[in-house]
Amino acid sequence: MKFKERLAGYRQSMEHKHGWGVELDCPACGYRGVPVYRGWSPGYAMGFGNKPTIYAILECPRCARDLEPEASSRLVELFSDVSIPRANRRLLACFFLVSALLVVAAILIFALTRSILGIMPLLFLAPMLALIPVFNRRVAAIRQSCECGSPYYIFMGMLGRAYCFRCSNCGRLLKLRD
């Protein structure tokens, strides 16, 4: 496979289908229902802890009020108690273990040689960076299955650094970290 095709394939597997699909209450007019989805805007906020980030542009179908604050608190409500799937946790642990081993190996080489080989730690960064897409792709692969048999995950936003998805076929919630 050519590099370009691979890159396109990687991007596709990482792509999120933005959306919402869950009921919200409008504080202005009292409407309760699924808001109007008006596309999404990129956000570059780096979330910490349980801080929600909503990318979807959501509007009240009755009075057109922006429902971003309501969506934020709803996201926290829905996903706070959802745990990261075991397959995802294993991947994270594996990635950290490999990183730690590389760092230890680099330090050892530096300590033992105390020479030009001290540049070795930098060389260890490259394989680690090369592993990130592989790792992210394997995390993304978790989204390709659901208990209902026909997974269709909608990306609802982020809780801290976790990606929050909902299968629009069965309503299953999925939280992933990469």
Binding site for Zn ion (CB under 5 A): 26, 28-29, 31, 60, 62-63, 65, 146, 148, 167, 169-170, 172
168 vs 178, beta carbon nearer Zn ion: 168
Shortest Cβ 25–Zn ion spacing (Å)? 9
Shortest Cβ 170–Zn ion spacing (Å)? 3
72 vs 169, beta carbon nearer Zn ion: 169
Shortest Cβ 109–Zn ion spacing (Å)? 48
33 vs 43, beta carbon nearer Zn ion: 33
Sign, Cα dihedral of 165, 167, 172, 177: negative
Q: Assess contact for 166 and 154: CB atoms under 8 A.
A: yes
Which residues, in sequence order, are bridge partners of residue 162?
Answer: 159
Sign, Cα dihedral of 59, 177, 77, 167: positive
Task: Give the distance from CA 86 to its chain's centroid.
Answer: 15
Q: Give the integer Cα–Cα distance in Å for 60 and 170.
A: 24
18 vs 65, beta carbon nearer Zn ion: 65
